[in-house]
Structure 1
């Protein structure tokens, strides 16, 4: 398991989103755009309320200059349905073999756990949290 700390360079990742497109951390660093990277166990589970909270705070996250990205072990079809059902305005990444979860030290018993990371525009770990705070994001100079 990776032990990340605030100030560490965020591990680079490459994963498919629900549209089958490859998404990388590098592309956000090239745009100098911070990201809110959140891990959740499963689409359409009791944990889906977390994705709805991110949806409800999405505009404020964008105003703070950050993009939101969700990650779970579900496949593209599940993510497409989930995005449609809950009108999620951000991308979801597929992490079927928990590669990203392991890279970021996110554990769970059967499925990856919940954890949120804010990665600054230079690709450094800025914050780890269990509960997302858009107010914290807006107060940071990322």
Structure 2
């Protein structure tokens, strides 16, 4: 798996969020985008990560950041997840792995002795010009917003 690096131009994408809105990276030109990839809706680490971003969302917005979550879950799954945890940012459905592959976060994983293909939890911070400024490969799910804001 070869993911994108700081200095790379962030690949453009368009996807549906949990409410059926069409969201494109280009919609956020001029803003800093926190594009975070996570394995699965409603799992413990992913929930901790989403709730941490939710709890710090106002602070992140004040500092000029927009938060977008991406997983291979369906729009319906995202809707349940967002409603259950009162998430206040878009979750993009990437069931065909277009965005996951573009950013290089889909690939071989090992868990409990098993090897399988899946999403590597990773966050890309994209600057106002659409260039990747930072890549967080080892995400601390319970304090993810703090990791982004300290940059």
Name the TM-score, length of structure 2 as normaliser. Answer: 0.83
Structure 1 runs (4+) deviating above 6 angstroms are none
Once the two structures are superposed, residues 67-107 of structure 1 have per-residue CA deviations (whole angstroms, 9 ceiling, x without a partner) of 10000111111111111110101010001021111100103
What's 2:43 paired with? 45
Q: How many residues align?
A: 138
Higher normalized strand content (fraction of residues): 2
Structure 1: give runs of 5+ residues left out of the alignment. none
Gaps of 5+ in 2: 108-115
1:7 CA displacement: 1.2
Residue 23 of structure 1 is matched in structure 2 by 23
Deviation at 1:136, TM superposition (A): 5.6
Listed one character per residue, the Cα deviations across residues 93-127 of structure 1 (whole Å, up to 9, x for unaligned) are 00102111110010343431210010011100000
> Relative to structure 1, is the Cα distance of residues 136 and 49 closer, same or farther in structure 2, using a 3 angstrom cutoff?
closer
Structure 1 residue 19 displacement after superposition = 1.4
Question: TM-score scaled by structure 1?
Answer: 0.88
In 2: Cα distance, 1:48 partner to 1:110 partner:
21
